[in-house]
């Protein structure tokens, strides 16, 4: 993990801003109050905050579900799902270098919005966290479509190249090939 490229201070500022905007957009889309958002227990971490087993090669982010439980409780009913969005700095930065039209803020905005939609859908039982490959592919398509719907309503400089980058996900599922 030590040799993987990490976001620098300026980039972390843009990533934090993307997380804030994503939370607001997804919250508004699902009509979630602040209290409702807090019930969706999650955190967003970049490479410096990830354990070695949370680092992957390929995807720009992954969601890991952990089991949480309040201190001083032993009842099974107090157990809750805690989701960790693990941003993969190295993968994001690599694609930004290969695709100069992409900019960090809109690209991270798309990624984080996408992952937050997954968390809302898991929390509302609209999708299963443990799904078979076909169900996961269908879910990815739905979430990409919803991400596009949410983000196309806001004016963000540099968003068009990000939409172009993800255009494959707007095709029928049988035409999508995942490597």
pLDDT tens digits for 74-121? 665 667 788 899 999 999 999 999 999 999 999 999 999 999 999 998
Residue 175, pLDDT score: 43
Q: How many CB atoms lie within 10 A of CB 141?
A: 16
Q: Alpha-carbon distance 67 to 51, whole Å? A: 16
Residue 130 lies in a domain: yes
pTM given for the model? 0.86
As given in the structure block, the two tokens for residue 152 are 């196309």
Residue 178 lies in a domain: no
Residue 175 lies in a domain: no
Residue 126 lies in a domain: yes
Residue 78, pLDDT score: 62
Residue 1 lies in a domain: no
pLDDT at residue 173 is higher than 50: no
Phi, psi at residue 159, to the nearest 5°?
Answer: -75, -35
Residue 4 lies in a domain: no
Contacts 24+ apart (CB under 8 A), 160-167: 161/99, 161/101, 161/102, 161/103, 161/106, 162/102, 162/103, 162/106, 162/107, 162/109, 162/110, 163/110, 164/101, 165/95, 165/99, 165/102, 165/107, 166/110
Residue 129 lies in a domain: yes
Please compute the mean of the pLDDT values over residues 22-32 and round it to a whole number: 92
Q: Are the C-beta atoms of residues 40 and 73 closer than 8 Å to each other? A: no
- Which domain range does residue 60 map to? 9-170
Residue 2 lies in a domain: no
Could you give the number of structural domains in the chain? 1
């Amino acid at each position: 993990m030590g040799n993987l490229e990490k976001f620098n201070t300026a980039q972390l500022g843009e990533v934090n801003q993307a997380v804030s905007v994503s939370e607001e957009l997804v919250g508004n889309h699902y009509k979630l109050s602040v209290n409702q958002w807090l019930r969706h227990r999650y955190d967003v971490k970049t490479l410096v905050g990830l354990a070695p087993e949370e680092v992957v090669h390929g995807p720009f982010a992954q969601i890991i579900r952990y089991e949480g439980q309040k201190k001083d409780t032993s009842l099974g009913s107090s157990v809750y799902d805690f989701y960790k969005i693990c941003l993969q700095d190295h993968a994001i930065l690599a694609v930004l270098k290969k695709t100069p039209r992409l900019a960090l803020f809109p690209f991270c905005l798309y990624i984080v919005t996408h992952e937050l939609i997954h968390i809302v859908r898991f929390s509302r039982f609209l999708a299963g966290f443990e799904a078979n490959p076909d169900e996961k592919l269908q879910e990815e398509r739905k979430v990409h479509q919803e991400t596009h719907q949410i983000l196309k309503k806001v004016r963000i400089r540099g968003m068009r190249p990000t939409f172009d980058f993800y255009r494959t996900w707007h095709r029928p599922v049988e035409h999508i090939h995942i490597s």
